[in-house]
Amino acid sequence: MSAGPMIEVRSLTKSFGAVEAVAGISFRVDAGEIVGFLGPNGAGKTTTMRILAGIFPPTSGSVSIAGRDPVREPLACRRAVGYFPEYAPFYPDLRVAEYLRFVARLKRLPRADRRDAVARVLGSCGLEAMAHRRIGTLSKGYRQRVGLAQALLGDPPILILDEPTIGLDPGQVVEIRELIHDLRGTRTVFFSSHILSEVEAVCERVIVIARGRLVGEGTPGDLSARLGRRRRLVLRVDGPSADVAAALAAVPGVDRVDVDGGAFVLETGVDGDPVRAAGEVLQRRGWVIRELRHETADLEEIFLRLVDGGLAS
Amino acid sequence: MTVLAIAAKELALYFTSFLFYALAAVFLVLSGYFFYTNLGFFVLMGGVDLPRGLWQYQLLDVQRLLLVLVPLLTMRLFAEERKLGTLELLWTYPVRDGEIIAGKFVACLAVVTLMLAATALHPLLVARFYPVAAGPLLAGYLGLWLLAAAFIACGLSISAMTESQLVAGAATYGLLLFFWVITWNEAAVNEVTLHLLVPFSLFDRFYTFARGGVDTGNVCYLVLFTIAFLAFTFFALDSRRWRGVR
């Protein structure tokens, strides 16, 4: 596979009437990369991916798929892309193999290769046993696999996956993630998610958008560092509120203490581990710890911080 | 090739749906009933001119059945795919919108052709004991077939605009009925307006076919009507550029 950008997006905007879904984003994805596309709901992820998949053209700016412009060469670009739409739509009344044969014909695979191509994706998505079931009778996890299978069919060099793990139970999420992980090196994968940990687990690089704009880009590690992500420790302690708060505030590594209802919320840096020190202090004073848990800032908050921090370059 | 793939999928969906069998049964039973009563009338009237005495009435009755039948067959073609979200997927395959439209149109026309073909039983029955001239009858069937194509194109375009099958079906009925009644109330409009409206009445166009005549103008009109609505279907799909996928 040749090096160079498989996906290139330049100053992309897309408006629907007065609504600006994408407001000028630029990025590139190189051959063989697995890149996560992160953003809160309504950030413009799906719109961007639909443009990349050739569903509709951008309002302004340009997109290049394997060096081609999807507006001028729609069919060639669509051939190069396997797309998995959010919620994995399906025809409930078609059987899995029958559906995949239909997709193989639409992807214009030569007649002689279709049978093998369908058998291959049935195998790689673990669907052999379900080949003759109607898609509507399958569980959500299997339907999601059918969605992935149709994207993989015909071995497109680029895969665009829109929220491939949404609505799955944790076991199924891991399976789909492993499937994506197995594509490493052989395909260019661009997939969206609104779950940070998921993107961290699979991707080498992350692109973050919010409100239609690019707000961050880099390796998952980079991004965490730039975010200055903080941890929160929540404690419930038997003891006089003011004294406990004062004692906790004095523990090294604790930057701030808030009292929230009956709980003490400690803000700490990413590196420090004040749990041991805090425990010792409380024990010395004879105050009993009823509850102790870590709390990570929720994703929405991280995005907002990115947006407000003006990290977009 | 991809047109055939789309058509084959649509046919598979028709033939696995209960709606298709219910519609086929209603169509065949009612067309049989019409044939029975029309034949009775023909015999009662002394039975002289077969094309104008029997086939004309029979073909006009089948035309009304088509009006009932076609919107129920076309309503799901695009609306269902919009609702399911599978239309979005179709747009990511290397397939042109025109091919998707053609595939669906061909599939629906094939289904209606099949049903029309089944009514060939009636002339075959008559032919056993009465001489049947094939010409006028074929003209009538050509008319029915072209009319069905026009109805299907109309239904297809409306189905492409909405994700509700019910809305698609209801609006198609409305539009087709409009093209039927457009010239009914001759007293309500003046001579000039009537003159302008008559050419747009699908059903007046069909009348000549039913009487066994093929008029090039009528053939062209029905073909153009079909092409125009297929073009509307294309624009309805293309509207995703500015209105998005839903």
- Choosing among 3.40.50.620, 3.40.50.300, 1.10.630.10, 3.50.40.10, the CATH entry for A5-90+141-227 is 3.40.50.300
Q: What's the token pair of residue B195?
A: 């003159």
- What's the confidence (pLDDT) of residue A224? 64
B23-34 as b/e: b if 16+ CB within 10 A? bbeebeebbeeb
User: How far away is chain A from the Cα of B104, in angstroms, using its nearest Cα?
Assistant: 14
Q: Do A17 and B90 touch (CB under 8 A)?
A: no
Using the structure block, give the residue that is written with the tokens 């697995």. Answer: A34
CB–CB contact A105 B96 (8 Å):
no
* B151, B206 Cβ separation under 8 angstroms: no
Q: Are A36 and A192 in contact (CB under 8 A)?
A: yes
The domain ranges of chain A are 5-90+141-227, 231-296
Given a cut of 60, whether residue A297 has pLDDT beyond it is no
B90 CB within 8 Å of a chain A CB: yes
Least confident of A150-159, A172-181, B19-28: A172-181
CATH class of domain segment(s) A231-296? alpha beta
Residue A132, beta-bridge partner list? none
A75-84, B90-99, B180-189, B220-229 — which is least confidently predicted? B180-189
User: To the nearest whole number, what is the mean pLDDT of chain A?
Assistant: 85
> Cα separation of B64 and A57, whole Å?
43
Look at chain B and report how many structural domains it folds into. Answer: 1
Task: With CB atoms and an 8 Å threshold, state whether A107 touches B93.
Answer: yes
Q: What ipTM does this complex have?
A: 0.88
In chain B, pLDDT over 90 holds for what percent of residues? Answer: 70
Which of A56, A91, A107 shows the shortest C-beta gap to B94? A107
Task: Check whether A299 has a pLDDT greater than 80.
Answer: no
CB-nearest to A16 from B90, B94, B244 is: B244
A58 to chain B: closest CA residue: B241
- Locate the chain A residue with the closest alpha carbon to B83: A89
Q: Are A208 and A192 in contact (CB under 8 A)?
A: no
Residues on A contacting B at a C-beta cutoff of 8 Å: 16-17, 21, 47, 50, 53-57, 74-76, 78-79, 81, 83, 85, 87, 89-94, 98, 102-103, 105-108, 150
Give tens-digit pLDDT for B16-37. 999 999 999 999 999 999 999 9
A1 has a pLDDT exceeding 50? no
* pLDDT tens by residue, A237-293: 888 888 888 888 888 878 888 887 778 888 776 666 778 888 888 888 888 888 888
Q: Return the closest-CA partner of residue A254 out of A239, A243, A267.
A: A267
Query: Residue B89 to residues A35, A149, A150, B81, B173: CA-CA distances in angstroms?
Result: 22, 13, 10, 9, 29
Residue A312 has pLDDT above 50, yes or no: no
Please report residues of A whose CB lies closer than 8 A to that of B243: 16-17
The more confident residue out of A23 and A304 is A23
**Yes or no, beta carbons of A89 and B245 under 8 Å apart:** no
Q: Which residues, other chains included, contact B68 with Cβ-Cβ below 8 Å and sequence gap of 6+?
A: B26
Residues 118-147 of B with CB under 8 A from A: none
Q: Provide the sign of the torsion angle of the four alpha carbons A267, A292, A226, A196, taken in this order.
A: negative
Residues of B in contact with A57 (CB under 8 A): 241
Work out the mean pLDDT of chain B and round it to a whole number. Answer: 91
Which of B4, B94, B245 comes nearest A55 by C-beta? B245
Which residues does chain B have within 8 Å of residue A92's beta carbon, measured at their own beta carbons?
84
Rounded to whole angstroms, the Cα distance separating A235 from A245 reads 10
Q: Give the pLDDT score at A309.
A: 60
For residue A225, what are the CA distances in angstroms to A174, A214, A218, A222?
26, 17, 10, 5
For an interface test with B, the pick among A19, A46, A55, A160 (most B C-beta atoms closer than 10 Å) comes out as A55
> Inter-chain contact B245–A56, Cβ cutoff 8 Å?
yes
- Cβ distance B92 to A79 less than 8 Å, yes or no, reads no
Cβ of B17 within 8 Å of Cβ of A93? The answer is yes
Q: Chain centroid to CA A47: how far?
A: 15
CA distance B143 to A204: 64
Chain B residues touching A83 at Cβ < 8 A: 89, 92
Q: Give chain B positions within 8 Å (CB) of A150.
A: 89
Closest Cβ–Cβ partner in A74, A76, A89 for B85: A89
DSSP track, chain B: -HHHHHHHHHHHHHHT-HHHHHHHHHHHHHHHHHHHHHHHHHHHTT---HIIIIIHHHHHHHHHHHHHHHHHHHTHHHHHHHHHTHHHHHTTSS--HHHHHHHHHHHHHHHHHHHHHHTTHHHHHHHTTS---HHHHHHHHHHHHHHHHHHHHHHHHHHTT-S-HHHHHHHHHHHHHHHHHTTT-TTTS-HHHHHHHGGG-HHHHHHHHHTT---HHHHHHHHHHHHHHHHHHHHHHHTHHHH---
Which of B35-39, B176-180, B227-231 is predicted most confidently?
A: B227-231
Q: Which residues of B touch A76 (CB under 8 A)?
A: 94
- How far apart are alpha carbons A213 and A205 in whole angstroms? 17
Distance of CA A239 to the CA centre of its chain: 43
Q: Do A90 and B86 touch (CB under 8 A)?
A: yes
User: Considering only CA atoms, which of A178, A204, A209 is closest in space to residue A193?
Assistant: A209
Strand partners, A161: A84, A191
Kindly report the nearest CA distance between residue A143 and chain B, in angstroms.
13
Q: What's the token pair of residue B65?
A: 């059945």
- Out of B6, B90, B92, the one facing A81 most closely (by C-beta) is B92
Distance from CA of B87 to the nearest CA of A (A): 9
Distance from CA of B70 to the nearest CA of A (A): 22
Model pTM above 0.95: no
